[in-house]
């Protein structure tokens, strides 16, 4: 009798696991409000969604459309963005402030529609105005359509690994100060995994994130880098990691002993618990190449703890991670990612109709009279694409475009760098430091096949830039160090199985080339996902015109668009 009952309970348990792991909803309520959190022995109020930090996980199946009711119960304007959701014909609820909407004011509400199409795996959501995203973020899990198997053996469990940065001070204050002084914003005081700095920090021991594993099982890590300003290396001591997805698209399996991931990127990673039962650290720290650029050089940890009877060490072993400036290690990893072409929704574009080459530079602006500026040599930090430092308008570009409101933006973002020079030379004339300022957009015809070459420069100082495009995934067909060479480099483009992603790391003093088809009408932001560079103006906007047919045109806005 007892064993029958046990069997029954076991079946019930398995059943609950199955339904738990793929439970999805078509409607979410996100209440943005303050909540008190203690980290590094000190307590402060942070903005959260529903009081959670990190925020709630959205779970959907491929191809679904869902709604999120966003209530602003905090004291700041906010917007939310669904990073990696391509939102076909739906830029209205994409989220970047003053690009596709005005912010949701305190006390107000906005119903955001999320239109999923080909995404599968892991992406994420985050706030998209000022520096609010420092604490307002969460994961999005996208399961295959019902009855479609995963392209890898079904893992035994799925586990979020969401990296972040923690400041002891109020982040809004950190942002405000840097804007006021023109200096680089203060670096964070800790990196976090699922909101926790880990054992190496004071006061975090008991709360460090734990993965309880069983020998022989496989764990699906849903990895998100939601850090503000840091590309990261991470690894699990004595274990390999197998990447099977990136930015919401499956990849060819790539097994490595460490991973490099930039802000904005997400990865689906398998961890096989195939080592001696013991305790191991999963650890992450910065990959930062800028000469003289201060960065948070701390290490965050989570614990991987095997079940079983053994005496764990007093302190688990730390993995060895590449040095903070090891570009070879970072690029060895990044350039090894490959898509599985059968999984990709569109072929790699071959005939390019629209060619864009854009520099991406850190800059400085002169200090206005009567002000004290704390940027390099008394200037103000800025950043640019094709020498234009993007100015955020005060009415959103989408509204201005849709209703033909003049004076909000200008078209004619340059298709090529305005001056040619040795972009990556060791020393460059100081006159190149100063960019123009403006709100210039590129207008693309519906269906254009676009190639963009991002050219890093050594103006002020070279560093890696993770560039993110809204509304699309793109193929990364090539990468290189130094200056892009128009006659030589395209011959080495990978047009067979390039990764299909929404964020690309452009290497320090190097370049990356991407291709996509402009088949999503609307207004789409493109920017560096290092938050300080975005704030400084390393941004631009694409307007994709309507196509001929009604299913290629922008529908009208929802009725509750937040007013400006
Ligand atoms: Cu992850 Cu424009 O953002
Ligand atoms: Cu950047």
548 vs 205: which has the higher pLDDT: 548
- Report whether residue 515 contacts ligand 1, using a CB cutoff of 6 Å: no
With tokens 């989570």, the residue in question is 302
Non-local CB neighbours of 30 within 8 Å, separated by 6+ positions: 49, 50, 55, 56, 68, 69, 70, 71, 80
- Report whether residue 399 contacts ligand 1, using a CB cutoff of 6 Å: no
Which listed CATH number (2.60.40.420, 2.60.40.1180, 2.170.150.20, 3.90.25.10) goes with 11-143? 2.60.40.420
Structural domain boundaries in the chain: 11-143, 157-334, 354-552
pLDDT of residue 22: 57
- pLDDT tens-digit series, residues 434-465: 999 999 999 999 999 999 999 999 999 999 99
Separation of 386 CA from ligand 2 center, angstroms? 13
pLDDT of residue 13: 42
Residue 299 region by backbone torsions, left for phi larger than 0, else alpha for psi between -120 and 50, else beta: beta
With tokens 């007093």, the residue in question is 314
- What does the block give as tokens for 505? 């790391």
What ranges make up the beta strands (E) of 144-208?
157-166, 190-193
What is the rounded CA–CA span in Å between residue 266 and residue 140? 10
Residue nearest to atom 3 of ligand 1 (CA): 83
CB–CB of 344/442 below 8 Å? no
Least confident of 220-229, 306-315, 441-450: 306-315
The predicted model gives 278-302 an average pLDDT of 97
- What ligand 1 atom has the least distance to the C-alpha of 133? 1
Q: Is the pLDDT of residue 8 over 70?
A: no
With tokens 């602003």, the residue in question is 72
Q: How many CB atoms lie within 10 A of CB 316?
A: 20
- Report whether residue 471 contacts ligand 1, using a CB cutoff of 6 Å: no
Separation of 64 CA from ligand 2 center, angstroms? 33
Helix (H, G, I), strand (E, B) or coil at 212: strand
pLDDT of residue 529: 98
Confidence grade of residue 345 (pLDDT, cut at 50, 70, 90): confident
Q: Is the pLDDT of residue 40 over 50?
A: yes
| Domain 11-143 identical in fold to domain 157-334 | yes
Which listed CATH number (2.60.40.420, 3.40.50.920, 2.60.40.10, 2.120.10.30) goes with 157-334? 2.60.40.420
- pLDDT tens-digit series, residues 67-114: 999 999 999 999 999 999 999 999 999 999 999 999 999 999 999 999
Ligand nearest to the CA of 384: 2
pLDDT of residue 205: 83
Cis omega (within 30 of 0) for bond into 54? yes
Q: What integer best gives the mean pLDDT of the chain?
A: 95
Q: Tell how strand 218-225 and strand 354-365 pair up.
A: unpaired
Provide the b/e sequence for 419-458 (b: ≥16 CB within 10 Å).
Answer: eeeebbeeebeeebbbbeebbbbbebebebbbbbbbbbbb
- Report whether residue 133 contacts ligand 1, using a CB cutoff of 6 Å: no
pLDDT of residue 280: 97
- What ligand 1 atom has the least distance to the C-alpha of 470? 2
DSSP character string of 66-86:
EEEEEEE-SSS-B-EEEET--
Confidence grade of residue 314 (pLDDT, cut at 50, 70, 90): confident
Q: What are phi and psi of 21, to 5 degrees?
A: -70, -25
Q: Is the pLDDT of residue 397 over 60?
A: yes
- pLDDT tens-digit series, residues 469-502: 999 999 999 999 999 999 999 999 999 999 999 9
What is the rounded CA–CA span in Å between residue 515 and residue 452? 7
- Report whether residue 527 contacts ligand 1, using a CB cutoff of 6 Å: yes
Q: Which residues pair with 442 in a beta bridge?
A: 542
Superfamily grouping for domain 354-552: Cupredoxins -  blue copper proteins (2.60.40.420)
């Amino acid at each position: 009798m007892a064993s029958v009952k046990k069997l029954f309970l076991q079946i019930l348990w398995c059943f609950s696991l199955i339904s738990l792991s793929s439970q999805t909803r078509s409607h979410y309520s996100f209440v943005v409000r303050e909540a008190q959190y203690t980290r590094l022995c000190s307590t402060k109020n942070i903005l959260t969604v529903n009081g959670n930090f990190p925020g709630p996980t959205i779970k959907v199946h491929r191809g679904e459309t869902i709604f999120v009711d966003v209530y602003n119960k905090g004291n700041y304007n906010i917007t939310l963005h669904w990073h990696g959701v391509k939102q076909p014909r739906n830029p209205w609820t994409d989220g970047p402030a003053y690009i596709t909407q005005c912010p949701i004011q305190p006390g107000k509400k906005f119903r955001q529609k999320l239109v999923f199409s080909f995404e599968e795996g892991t992406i994420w959501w985050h706030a998209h105005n000022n520096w609010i995203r420092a604490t307002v973020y969460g994961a999005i899990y996208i399961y295959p359509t019902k009855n479609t198997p995963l392209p890898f053996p079904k893992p035994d469990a799925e586990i979020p690994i969401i990296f972040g940065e923690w400041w002891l001070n109020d982040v809004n204050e950190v942002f405000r100060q840097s804007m006021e002084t023109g200096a680089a914003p203060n670096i964070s005081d800790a990196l976090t995994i699922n909101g926790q700095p880990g054992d190496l920090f004071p006061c975090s021991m008991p709360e460090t994130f734990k993965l309880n594993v069983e020998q022989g099982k496989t764990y699906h890590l849903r990895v998100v880098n939601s850090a503000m300003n840091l590309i990261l290396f991470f690894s699990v001591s004595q274990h390999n990691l197998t990447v099977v997805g990136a930015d919401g698209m499956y990849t060819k399996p790539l097994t490595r002993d460490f991973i490099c991931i930039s802000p904005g990127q997400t990865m689906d990673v398998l961890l096989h618990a195939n080592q001696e039962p013991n305790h191991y650290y999963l650890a992450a720290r910065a990959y930062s190449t800028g000469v003289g650029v201060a960065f948070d050089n701390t290490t965050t940890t989570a614990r991987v703890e095997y079940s079983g009877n053994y005496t764990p060490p007093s302190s688990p072993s730390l993995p060895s991670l590449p040095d903070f400036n090891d570009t070879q290690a970072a690029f060895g990893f990044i350039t090894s990612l490959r898509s599985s072409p059968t999984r990709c929704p569109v072929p790699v574009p071959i005939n390019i109709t629209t060619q864009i080459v854009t520099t991406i530079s850190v800059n400085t602006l002169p200090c206005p009279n009567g002000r004290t500026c704390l940027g390099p040599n008394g200037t103000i930090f800025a950043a640019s694409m094709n020498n234009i430092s993007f100015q955020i308008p005060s009415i959103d570009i989408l509204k201005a475009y849709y209703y033909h409101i003049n004076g909000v933006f200008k078209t004619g973002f340059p298709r090529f760098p305005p001056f040619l020079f040795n972009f990556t030379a060791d020393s460059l004339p100081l006159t190149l430091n100063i960019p123009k300022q403006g709100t210039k957009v590129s207008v693309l015809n519906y269906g254009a096949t676009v190639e963009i070459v991002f050219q890093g420069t050594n103006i002020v100082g070279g560093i890696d830039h993770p560039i993110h495009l809204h509304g699309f995934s793109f193929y990364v067909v090539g990468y290189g160090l130094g200056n892009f060479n128009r006659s030589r480099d395209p011959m080495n483009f990978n047009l067979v199985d390039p990764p299909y992603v929404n964020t690309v790391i452009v290497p320090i003093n190097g370049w990356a080339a991407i291709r996509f088809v402009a088949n999503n009408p609307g207004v789409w932001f493109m920017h560096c996902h290092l938050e300080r560079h975005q704030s400084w103006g390393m941004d631009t906007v694409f307007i994709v015109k309507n196509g001929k047919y009604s299913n290629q045109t922008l529908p009208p806005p929802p009725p509750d668009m937040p007013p400006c």
